[in-house]
């Protein structure tokens, strides 16, 4: 799914380079079936390039967020998770009793976004959110 040409363009437009490390990290995010953590990316890339440092992973993820190539979310388990932005915008409802995670369409938050803009002139970034509470079974 990584289109190297486009990625290079997006990076170089801001004076950044597509280094081997960055490419491998992006591929790891891309190849993951689910949300992947920095530590998991690190372990995976280390298999082919053991020199990689974990701080490079974090810095790269920061960069990829900035370029809107990946999104992050914190599902409440003490680490942030990432996925390619092309996997579609969505949010999660996290039950903190049973741990169940319900996927939720982006549209559910549209009225809130509109209300915040209307009432406060605030342009909320409601991207890949996790909302905590109790699910149907645990209520």
Partner DNA sequence: TATGCAGATGCAAGGGGTTGCAATTGCCAA
Partner DNA sequence: TTGGCAATTGCAACCCCTTGCATCTGCATA
109 binds a second copy per the rule CB under 8 A: yes
* Residue 113 CB neighbour total at 10 angstroms: 15
Contact 75, 35 (CB under 8 A): yes
Distant-in-sequence contacts of 86-92, Cβ < 8 A, 24+ apart: 86/1, 89/127, 89/128, 90/128, 91/126, 91/128, 91/129, 91/130, 91/131, 92/129, 92/130, 92/131
Per partner kind, with CB cut-offs from 5 to 8 A, the member of DNA, Zn ion, a second copy, none near residue 98 is Zn ion
- Closest approach, Cβ 14 to DNA, in A, equals 8
The 81-110 site mask, x for binding Zn ion (CB under 5 A), equals --------------x-xx-x----------
54 binds DNA per the rule CB under 7 A: yes
Residues that bind a second copy (CB under 8 A): 93, 95-96, 102, 104, 108-109, 111-112, 115-116, 119-126, 131-136, 139
């Amino acid at each position: 799914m990584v289109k190297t040409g486009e990625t290079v363009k997006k990076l170089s437009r801001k004076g950044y380079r597509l280094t081997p490390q960055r490419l491998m990290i992006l591929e790891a995010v891309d190849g993951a079936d689910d949300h992947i953590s920095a530590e998991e990316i690190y372990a995976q890339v280390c298999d082919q390039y053991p020199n990689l440092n974990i701080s490079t992973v974090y810095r790269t993820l920061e960069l990829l967020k900035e370029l809107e190539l990946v999104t992050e979310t914190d599902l409440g388990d003490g680490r942030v998770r990432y996925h390619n932005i092309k996997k579609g915008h969505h949010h999660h409802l996290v039950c903190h009793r049973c741990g169940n995670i319900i996927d939720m369409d982006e549209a559910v938050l549209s009225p809130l976004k509109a209300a915040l803009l209307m009432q406060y002139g605030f342009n909320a970034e409601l991207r890949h959110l996790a909302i905590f509470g109790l699910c149907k079974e645990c209520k």
